[in-house]
Homo-oligomer: A and B are copies of this chain.
Amino acid sequence: MATSVDTPGRDADRTRAAILFAAQQIFAEKGFVEAGVRDITALAGVNQSLVSRYFGGKLKLFEAALADLLDARLMTDLSRKDFGRRIVAIFTDPRRDRAQPLSVLLGATADSEARAIALRLLRDRVLAPLSGWLGGAEADARAARFMIVSTGFFTYRDLLPLAEFSGPVEPRLRQWLEDAFQAIVDD
């Protein structure tokens, strides 16, 4: 079993996709440095050497994994009316099946090369669209506020799990988060 259902012979595209998906999970869970190529390929069920063959190395795989996650663009159909509530709902959705892009991104800060990649993707595919969506003269400062609050939240949920961040978000904290995000669009 599991030989003709999820393994239709040999398929490079499918193998590549499996590695990419596994990489997103492992990178989100352990961060770039502690995520080993062997961890990723083991989860994907393939040989470790395929990372180099199909992606050109761990670093390129990271770039592909993060870029793919950011392509599921969050900024679409996001109304200004309940911006805060929607953002917090997305960030805390327990049914989410894909890795949180910001988790993967923040997990790259420890490696100088991965950090450079993450920084470029953050600028081009998050901050630029966000700043444009926010508009106005203070767009950049607003986008910075968005990143500060988001990053702080993800850091303590994923990287430094304190009591306040385990399980559902404490109601008063959630309310503050929603207000902080909403204030970014309301001024």
Are B141 and A173 within 8 A (Cβ)? yes
Query: Which B residues lie within 8 Å of A34 (CB)?
Result: 110-112
Whether A115 contacts B160 in the complex (CB less than 8 A), given A110-B107, A173-B145, comes out as yes
CB distance from A81 to the nearest CB of B (A): 22
Give a binary string over A155-174; 1 marks a CB under 8 Å from any B CB, 0 the rest: 11001111111000010110
CB pair A155–B109 under 8 Å, yes or no, is yes
- Residues on the B chain within 8 Å of A150, using CB: 152
How many monomers of this chain does the complex have? 2
How far does the alpha carbon of A143 sit from the alpha carbon of B90 in the complex, in Å?
A: 24
Give the number of chain A interface residues (Cβ < 8 Å): 44
Give Cα A144 to B153, complex, Å: 9
A103 to chain B, nearest CB (A): 11
On chain B, the residues within 8 Å of A164 by CB distance are 140-141, 143-144
- Taking a contact as CB atoms under 8 Å apart, the answer to whether B156 and A147 are in contact is yes
Q: Which listed residue (B30, B152, B170) contacts A151, Cβ 8 A? A: B152
- Taking CB atoms, residues of chain B closer than 8 Å to A32 are 110
Interface 1/0 per residue, A105-117 and B, CB below 8 Å? 0110111100100
Give the segment of A3-11, A13-21, A45-53, A118-126 that binds chain B: A118-126
Whether B156 contacts A152 by the Cβ 8 Å rule is: no
